[in-house]
A and B are shown apart, each in its own frame.
Chain A
């Protein structure tokens, strides 16, 4: 039995996970159209390789990765590309982005795929390339390209792979369901991941509020020597990567660092399955398990949804009562954001679509002044001083924000949850983070401009000096001629005459 450890702070919000009946996978709707954004991950957008009017089949790559930190997009079913245009995408800004729209033919034709069964015989680069080509981005909610994460080891290498089945955010039960239904696949995928990064230990981390998932994972782990199931007490946000590492290994990821710095890699259970399918079946990532829940839907549950399915169709499938719900959230109640347009599609990061009633999740109350009670500092799992950060964010004091390690904030919302004054603290931090990043980019730009301006000034001065030198040389030559007794006017007349004579000669 592994010794587990505690993290600072954390909260115990009502879990409400039973509402979505974890443990059953419902087949999702087949919509008329799929809307596939080119950016469903962190990094550069993919670049389309199909044209409007093209017929595509299931599993076909329709947009390729552009640059290293990017992942391709594949068609989840067969149909015709009807548009490549700007559509509403799941993003906190509520803005639109370029999407490939596919009108489905309902036949769901797929090209035959082939995988690698003897993956132990292949080197990590080949396998990582398979993962990249399959369009896999972290399915836990952040959407970081998995291939990049697998490549990000340090000198010491990766010793421990953690399959993060914590799922600490209220309402969401997608990982719970995946662990109950596909435990063997998760362990098999984890073995491949461990092989790729060279990890010796696989820890299957499950919070103790998921006994069925724990049982399923324990049975599955019996077939794998290096795998071990670890359970730990339920607390939000234990599922944060850095928090989970502290709980399991009693080690802290350095500020500004990544888990690979201390030889650890964390992956979501669904990501492990996606990797297994990509490598052993050659199947790209085109569906995911998404929790649809909240009291405003009649049939909450976990659905296997094709990426690109409009949230409207998904909610319709779950019996959404638009009159009962006050808003729809993409993601969970702690870290999600409000959906402004129900035509937005389900993407790789959509772990939950939450349609609560007004009584269930009332609109935020107006913020009151901070009373300096310090509850936020007690709740912060990253050991920050949320109240100080709040003051500095309000004052836009970027220097102090960085000194107080704003960038170690994981935006879990525990501080805002406990705040008796209902201050939307996380939004202050998100805003401050954006503005600091923006200022850094502007600084790079302005340094670059200064360099170019100075180079130009130098060039202009050099040109002026060269001109001046030429003029001085001409003047000196003229003076030398004058000194030798030559009359400059007479000389010029003679030169002109000579020229004229030469010309006449040429003409005649």
Chain B
């Protein structure tokens, strides 16, 4: 046997390669069983990018189901609360081309928060059951109120309310939520004074 191999280099090479294949194949097979990752890390990563509004506008019942759907190949442009920023982040993660937001699922709006007109609330608890993040406090036949810091602005409590006493109001108002806009090329900034006299050499 050994003599035969020694005599024929081609056979020797073949045996060596097949042998190595068997060794490394079994190593890889062992590793894939031993070091298996539980769950789907890709859908976890996608889920961490999604805004967690849990609004269901994408057509899935919450952000995790949509994340799993994206991991299985669904479009990345179905999340209106996330808007362009989320699409961009998903495109970077999945290394695909960013697409404009699918208008079928809604348009990007400023962040909202639910507000219950408490005098009109009849205490039916329907909104409490609808809230995906338990951000509404109240009990049967008692007034309800929204914990504004926990509200994701998903809109899901508005529809079940039998007396229509829930409004969606902008979350970010006032001077403490203001942020600097990017300069507009057509409208040179007047707010920044760091300009110099004309003709002054740099």
Question: A residues within 8 Å of B by Cβ?
Answer: 13-14, 39, 89, 91-97, 327, 329, 331-338, 354, 360-367, 375, 393-394, 396, 413, 416-420, 422, 424, 426-428, 430-431, 433-435, 437-439, 442, 445-450, 452-453, 455-457
New A-B pairs, 8, CB < 8 Å, besides A417-B194, A445-B52: A95-B174, A416-B194, A422-B195, A424-B192, A427-B183, A450-B52, A452-B150, A456-B132
- Specify which of A420, A449, A456 is in contact with B52 (CB 8 Å cutoff): A449
Report chain B residues within 8 Å CB of A39.
Answer: 175
Q: Which residue of A lies closest to B53 (CB)?
A: A449
B135 CB–A CB distance under 8 Å: yes
B178 CB–A CB distance under 8 Å: yes
Q: How far is the CB of B189 from chain A (nearest CB, A)?
A: 5
Among B48, B189, B192, find the residue whose CB has the most chain A CB atoms closer than 10 A.
Answer: B192
Main secondary structure of the interface of B (DSSP, over half): loop
Q: Would you call B180 and A367 a contact (CB within 8 A)?
A: no
Complex CA–CA separation, A455 to B195 (angstroms): 53
Q: Which residue of A lies closest to B81 (CB)?
A: A446
5 A-B pairs with the lowest CB-CB distances in the bound complex, closest first? A413-B194, A434-B179, A449-B52, A430-B180, A446-B52
Q: Known A97-B175, A424-B188, A442-B51; judge A449-B152 contact (CB<8 A).
A: yes
Q: Would you call B179 and A333 a contact (CB within 8 A)?
A: no
B119 CB–A CB distance under 8 Å: no
Report chain A residues within 8 Å CB of B4.
Answer: none
Q: Would you call A427 and B202 a contact (CB within 8 A)?
A: no
Among B63, B189, B196, find the residue whose CB has the most chain A CB atoms closer than 10 A.
Answer: B196
Report chain A residues within 8 Å CB of B47.
Answer: 450
Q: Would you call A95 and B175 a contact (CB within 8 A)?
A: yes
Complex CA–CA separation, A285 to B87 (angstroms): 50
Complex CA–CA separation, A91 to B193 (angstroms): 14
B39 CB–A CB distance under 8 Å: no
Q: Would you call A365 and B194 a contact (CB within 8 A)?
A: no
Complex CA–CA separation, A428 to B182 (angstroms): 6
| Binary flags per residue of B165-202, CB closer than 8 Å to A gives 1, else 0 | 00000000011001111110100111111111110101
Q: Would you call B182 and A365 a contact (CB within 8 A)?
A: no
14 A-B pairs within 8 Å (CB atoms) are namely: A89-B175, A93-B175, A94-B191, A336-B193, A362-B195, A363-B188, A364-B188, A365-B198, A367-B183, A416-B194, A424-B188, A450-B63, A453-B133, A456-B132
B62 CB–A CB distance under 8 Å: yes
Q: Known A430-B180, A446-B51, A446-B52; judge A453-B132 contact (CB<8 A).
A: yes
- Specify which of A13, A331, A362, A445 is in contact with B198 (CB 8 Å cutoff): A362
Q: Which residue of A lies closest to B131 (CB)?
A: A456
Q: How far is the CB of B56 from chain A (nearest CB, A)?
A: 12
Report chain B residues within 8 Å CB of A96.
Answer: 175
Q: How far is the CB of B131 from chain A (nearest CB, A)?
A: 8
B54 CB–A CB distance under 8 Å: yes
Q: Would you call B183 and A424 a contact (CB within 8 A)?
A: yes
Q: Known A91-B175, A427-B180, A427-B182; judge A361-B191 contact (CB<8 A).
A: no
Q: Which residue of B lies closest to A366 (CB)?
A: B188
Report chain A residues within 8 Å CB of B50.
Answer: 446
B134 CB–A CB distance under 8 Å: yes
- Specify which of B48, B54, B179 is in contact with A453 (CB 8 Å cutoff): B54
Complex CA–CA separation, A375 to B51 (angstroms): 40
